[in-house]
Amino acid sequence: MKKILFWFLAVVITLGSAYYQRTTGPTYPVSGSVEVDGAEIRYRLPRSAETVADAEVAIPAAPQAIEGYLAYKRFKTADAWTQVLLTREGERLVGKLPKQPAAGKLEYQVVLVSRQKETPLTPDPIVIRFKDPVPIFFLIPHILIMFLGMLFSTRAGLAALDKQASPRKFVLWAFWLQLIGGFLLGPIIQKYAFGVLWSGFPFGIDLTDNKTLIAMLFWVAALIAGRKGRPARGWVLAAAVVNLAIYLVPHSVLGSELDYSKLPAVR
């Protein structure tokens, strides 16, 4: 019964942390609603797009009387803002953001217009980052393996709290899963998406890479401390707690970012 309870807790904690990380990251769409002429307009604005096509920004269920425009500029540049009118496609107002090179970013704002009154959807501009396509046969295994790594990490921490259980086998699973997911598949995906294998320490400040490195160092320490059958409960628990804390840091924070000053000044 205790084992079933621990596995249940591990699954709940893993699902909760994965959901939190996913929905709080800087590439997760911005959702909300505004009221224009008594009509509630709901929106979901993208913050991630692929380099293969212009990024579509669509406002659904907009009444015919409402128009609008899209204002954008390249992120962290002195570019002037460009405005493009939203076009109507049935019940949607649609605008396009020009595709950028991998790791390129645009900041943009959607403004609805009715009876000459302008209503911005968000108080501040939104930043969208572009990435090259990643083959699904790398992406799906990466996601699954990292998820399983978090699951076994949590299970190892719970086993460390149980003096009648040995956390060693869970430590081994957590170590190998995170090694494969974070240090083999992770760099491959980043190479496809942004053209670099590793942008964390000592080459950069990519938080995803750096937190992967920190987690792995703790699991290596737990693995070494648990040699010759020692439970090393303190080290295992520390590694599990650090791993959980790292997962609570939103994904893609301080991620790859194109320096436009190194490119010709073109849109």
pLDDT in tens, the chain (267 residues): 788 899 999 999 999 988 888 888 888 999 999 998 888 899 999 999 999 999 999 998 777 788 999 999 999 999 999 999 999 988 899 999 999 999 999 999 999 998 888 999 999 999 999 999 999 999 999 999 999 999 999 999 999 998 888 899 999 999 999 999 999 999 999 999 998 888 877 777 777 888 889 999 999 999 999 887 788 999 999 999 999 988 887 766 666 788 888 876 554
Q: Give the chain as a 3 state SS string.
A: CHHHHHHHHHHHHHHHHHHHHHHHCCCCCEEEEEEECCEEEEEEECCEEECCCCEEEEECCCCCCCEEEEEEEECCCCCCCEEEECEEECCEEEEEECCCCCCCEEEEEEEEEECCEEEECCCCCEEEEEECCCCHHHHHHHHHHHHHHHHHHHHHHHHHHCCCCCCHHHHHHHHHHHHHHHHHHHHHHHHHHHCCCCCCCCCCCCHHHHHHHHHHHHHHHHHHHCHHHCCCHHHHHHHHHHHHHHHCCCCCCCCCCCCHHHCCCCC
126: containing domain: 37-131
Could you tell me if residue 166 is inside a domain? yes
Domain co-membership, 231 together with 217: yes
51 backbone φψ class: left, alpha, beta (φ>0; ψ -120 to 50): alpha
Where among 97, 115, 131 does a domain terminate? 131
Provide the pLDDT for residue 264: 64
**Tally of structural domains, the chain:** 2
Provide the pLDDT for residue 253: 65
Could you tell me if residue 78 is inside a domain? yes
Could you tell me if residue 82 is inside a domain? yes
Domain co-membership, 45 together with 86: yes
Could you tell me if residue 256 is inside a domain? no
Provide the pLDDT for residue 252: 63
Domain co-membership, 147 together with 237: yes
Domain co-membership, 121 together with 148: no
Could you tell me if residue 190 is inside a domain? yes
Could you tell me if residue 31 is inside a domain? no
Domain co-membership, 21 together with 143: yes
Provide the pLDDT for residue 106: 97
Domain co-membership, 197 together with 156: yes
Domain CATH code at residue 55:
2.60.40.10
Provide the pLDDT for residue 230: 83
Domain co-membership, 21 together with 141: yes
